[in-house]
Amino acid sequence: MQFRQQEKGKYLLVHASGRLDASWADHFSSTFKEYIRQGQHHILLEASEVSYLSSAGIRALVQVVKSIMAVQGSFQIIRASSFVHQTLQMTGFESWLKADFPDDLPAEDTEAQIPDESPFELYQLNGSTAMQLSVPATWVPWKAFNSNNLSSIRFGHQDFALGIGAPHQSDQDASMHMGEFLVVGGNVIYQPPREGDKPDFLLPEKAYLPEMHCLQALHCTGDMPHLLRFSPKGNKTYFGLGELAEKVLTETGSALAAFVIFAEIDGLVGSSIIQSPGLLKEDRIIPFPDIKEWLSFCGERVFPRQQALIFGMASKGLDGKKSPLLAGSTMHKNLFLHAHAAVFPYLPIESGVIKLKSVTEKLFKGPPPMALLHLLEDSRPSTGLGESTLIRGACWYTAINTNQEDTIWA
């Protein structure tokens, strides 16, 4: 089969030719899934030159239509050849067939027409204007563990957090299990501190609220009243985490902001705790190579084409002070960041306004998270991996109020 595609307004018009049979079905569905990945959610299949359609071909079509419907898109087959037309009618899929192009289809290709079109869309959602931040647990590497410094937190639907801790388990010593976690709308994703272990997750359900024993926690409660959608346009093919964080700070005009990003990954850079800090008997500076037993490093830009759920806090800084909880960016001026990313298999989402809650609900119904990373910037000359970058997605954000400035800024 051969495909030729034209962008026309919100539509992608695909001219297909050849036989859609078992030999071409996989190629067909992967081509169309790639269109969806690129943000084309309204597809017109011009099928006048599709000479044959087998049951395997119909299965491929069903798959494609399913993926499109999952992102609230649309799919129509235009000017089908008589064979295709007949086959679809007999198999009960005539609803896909349209005699002609939709009325709102622009005559011209729209592809290269709007060179200055912004890669960003901003939306205002409901909710209070700012969240309150608390820092109930303040461990920093590599302080001695003291169970008195643990703080137990129950996370509900309005909670967002990142930090180091362990799920509440009555029968086990939490100190052995201190690992990194993030919380988005009460959904907790936690990475046990053992290399190779899969992240675990705890979801608030009815009366059950996930509880974590936290050694370190940046915790805020409230709404994410703003939404930023980003997608590649023109030469702009990816978005750096720092760039998105800066945008969030600019848009809120706040000194401190929190954000959730749900996006297709270009490449993540980060590390994870692989040995519980609960084992630290005294304050330590852990030199190389011993540090390799405590932290893993990704080594390359990881998880391209997968999906990231990120929670982060960003700040412009305060009077040139350093922060024990926010890392000073080496690639962006006046930016301080702390972000954790959970990695999931790729999951496309609809364009435009979208509720964070509906995204997380869909996400946790699917396959489990594959990894959790503490994101870092690697600006080593020549060998550096750079910062984490994303391709397209959504960023919900809010300004942050806090009365714990003394804790955040040393």
Partner 1 sequence: MLNVNNLYKTFAPGTVNEVKALIDVSLHIEEGCFTAVIGTNGSGKSTLLNAIAGSFKPDHGRINLFEHNITNWPEYKRASLIGRVFQNPFAGTAAGMTISENIALAMRRGKRRPLTAAITSRIRDEIAERVKTLKMGLEDRLDNPIGTLSGGQRQALTLLMASWLRPQLLLLDEHTAALDPKTAAKVSEITKEIITREKLTAMMVTHSMQQAVDLSDRIIMMHRGRIVEDLRDEMKARVRISDLMQTFERVQKLDLFDQSVAEILEQQFV
Binding site for partner 1 (CB under 8 A): 140-141, 195-196, 271, 287-289, 291-292, 295-300, 323-328, 330, 338, 374, 376-380, 383
Q: Classify 281 as helix, strand or coil.
A: coil
What percent helix, strand, coil does the chain show, rounded to 5? 20, 40, 40
Identify the CA nearest to 340 among candidates 147, 179, 153.
Answer: 179
Distance of alpha carbon 23 from alpha carbon 49, whole angstroms: 17
Min CB(295)–partner 1 separation in Å: 6
Whichever of 114 and 410 has its CB closer to partner 1, that residue is 410
Distance of alpha carbon 386 from alpha carbon 90, whole angstroms: 55
Min CB(378)–partner 1 separation in Å: 6
Min CB(315)–partner 1 separation in Å: 12
Place of tokens 């994101």: 375
Token pair for 95: 């609803």
Whichever of 15 and 340 has its CB closer to partner 1, that residue is 340
Token pair for 326: 């926010």
Whichever of 253 and 287 has its CB closer to partner 1, that residue is 287
The DSSP 8-state label assigned to residue 109 in this structure reads -
Whichever of 97 and 302 has its CB closer to partner 1, that residue is 302
Give residues with Cβ within 8 angstroms of 294, minimum separation 6: 142, 273, 274, 275, 277, 286
Min CB(164)–partner 1 separation in Å: 10
In sign, the C-alpha dihedral spanning 310, 313, 315, 317 is negative
In sign, the C-alpha dihedral spanning 293, 299, 305, 309 is positive
Whichever of 352 and 384 has its CB closer to partner 1, that residue is 384
Whichever of 56 and 140 has its CB closer to partner 1, that residue is 140
Distance of alpha carbon 304 from alpha carbon 367, whole angstroms: 17
Identify the CA nearest to 168 among candidates 180, 153, 182, 179.
Answer: 153
Whichever of 209 and 295 has its CB closer to partner 1, that residue is 295
Min CB(195)–partner 1 separation in Å: 6
Min CB(234)–partner 1 separation in Å: 32
Min CB(244)–partner 1 separation in Å: 18
Contact of 324 with 410, CB cutoff 8 Å: yes
Distance of alpha carbon 382 from alpha carbon 402, whole angstroms: 39
Whichever of 227 and 376 has its CB closer to partner 1, that residue is 376
Min CB(241)–partner 1 separation in Å: 13
Distance of alpha carbon 70 from alpha carbon 362, whole angstroms: 10
Whichever of 125 and 291 has its CB closer to partner 1, that residue is 291
Min CB(216)–partner 1 separation in Å: 9
The DSSP 8-state label assigned to residue 197 in this structure reads P
